[in-house]
Amino acid sequence: MIRSLFSVRHRELPEPVEPGTVLTSAHELHVKLGARHVLRGVDIEARASEVVALVGPNGAGKSTLLAALATDLAPDSGTVRICGRDAGTWSAGELALRRAVLPQSAQLSFPFLVEEVVRMGRAPWSGTPLADNDDEVIAAALRATEATEFTGRPFSALSGGERARVALARVLAQQAPLLLLDEPTAALDLRHQELVLRVCRERAAAGDAVVVVLHDLGLAAAYADRVAVLHEGTIAADGPPAEVFDGELLSRVYRQPVEVLPHPRTGTLLVFPERG
């Protein structure tokens, strides 16, 4: 088809990246939504082969920051770079080969089957040599999120948690080196929360950069290489969980007394609200 002829010529395919390469970065980012100054000078970066968790109280600007990194929002000032170039200089098709985004809630206007939904994640690759792997990639993504058993069902017939996993499978099928996940664990049970974070680790081990918004600080401590704590539109702390998770800092940011303890057996940090 004519379309597939054109599509390859206009798109620059992503190069394989070395571990540690900065895949996305924001510098002095300011975003206003209406009258509210949601982000006030945020600096953050995510490198290949690492999982970065964005945590913070409601309204701290986590989702806004993720949306800015995803280029959904134009920042009022500051820059966002993706794969070494200013985000605005990529075409929509080129960006789709470089970053995949999991929205907070998965919606679908028409009753597509689960397999069709996951296949949509392959759309950016159509017309490239990698499109030949579509079936294997889709099957692998469904296996990774334990969604294989729903393949033939309409997406609209799934429960909230099942939809969330299918949406994640679609994002994985996109095979972008930069993954931006907005609360992927929100609708999930205990087992699948762990599963999703393990998938994040696997993607990082395979060389991707994963930026994930989390509410569960225990999950962030256990799985993230780096945690960025957002507080009123600024980064209050950014570093490995062992450095960032400090009872005093978290208590101040969340306005709730918080205790941080090492797990007696594994040594992973556990975060608890102090209760009477």
Partner 1 sequence: MTATVAPSKDAEPSAAEGPATPKSPSGRARRSIPYLLTVGMLAGLVVICLLSAGIGAYKIPLGDVIGSVQHRIGLGGAALDRVGESVLWNVRFPRVVLALIVGASLGCAGALMQGVFGNPLAEPAVIGISSGAAVGGVASIAFGLTFLGTWTLPVCAFVGGLVTVFLVYAMSRSGGRTEVVTLILTGVAVTAFGMAMIGLFIFFADNAEVTQITFWQLGSLAQATWPKVLAVLPWALVGLAIAPFYSRKLDLLALGERPARHLGVDVERMRVVLMFTTALLTAAAVAVSGIISFVGLVVPHLLRMLAGPGHRFLIPGSALGGALVLAVCDLTARTIAAPAELPLGVLTGLIGSPFFFWLLRRTRRKQGGWA
Binding to partner 1 by CB under 8 A, coded x per residue (else -) over 45-74, reads: -------------------------x-x--
116 φ/ψ angles, rounded to the nearest 5 degrees: -65, -35
Residue placing its CB nearer to partner 1 in the complex, 208 or 238: 208
- Give the residue among 122, 199, 211, 132 at the shortest CA–CA distance from 165: 199
236 token code pair = 């209050």
Among 43, 146, 216, 232, binds partner 1 (CB under 8 A): 146
Among 117, 172, 224, 260, binds partner 1 (CB under 8 A): 117
User: By CB under 8 A, is residue 142 in contact with partner 1?
Assistant: yes
Among 40, 112, 128, 246, binds partner 1 (CB under 8 A): 112
| Integer angstrom CA distances of residue 234 from 11, 142, 229, 241, 257 | 35, 36, 8, 18, 21
User: By CB under 8 A, is residue 184 in contact with partner 1?
Assistant: no
266 token code pair = 């594994």
Angle between the 134-144 and 160-173 helix axes, to the nearest 10 degrees? 140
Instruction: Using the rule CB under 8 A, give the single segment among 57-65, 158-166, 217-225, 243-251 that binds partner 1.
Output: 158-166
| b/e 133-152 (16+ beta carbons within 10 angstroms → b) | ebeebbbbbbebbbbeebbe
- Give the residue among 113, 112, 98 at the shortest CA–CA distance from 15: 98
User: By CB under 8 A, is residue 124 in contact with partner 1?
Assistant: yes
Among 116, 216, 225, 232, binds partner 1 (CB under 8 A): 116
User: By CB under 8 A, is residue 128 in contact with partner 1?
Assistant: no
Provide the minimum distance between the beta carbon of 138 and partner 1 in the complex, in angstroms, as a whole number: 6
Question: 95 and 86 in contact (C-beta within 8 Å)?
Answer: no
Binding to partner 1 by CB under 8 A, coded x per residue (else -) over 78-107, reads: -------------xxxxxxx-xxx-x--xx
Among 195, 200, 250, 258, binds partner 1 (CB under 8 A): 195
- What is the torsional sign of CA 68, 179, 270, 245? negative
Which residue is it, tokens 């974070």?
Answer: 197
Cα 53 from Cα 166, distance rounded (Å) = 21
Residue placing its CB nearer to partner 1 in the complex, 130 or 249: 130
**Which residues neighbour 239 within 8 Å (Cβ) at sequence distance 6 or greater?**
226, 227
User: By CB under 8 A, is residue 189 in contact with partner 1?
Assistant: yes
Residues that bind partner 1 (CB under 8 A): 3, 70, 72, 91-97, 99-101, 103, 106-113, 115-118, 120-121, 123-124, 126, 135, 138-140, 142-144, 146, 148-149, 151-153, 159, 161-162, 174, 189, 191-192, 195, 198
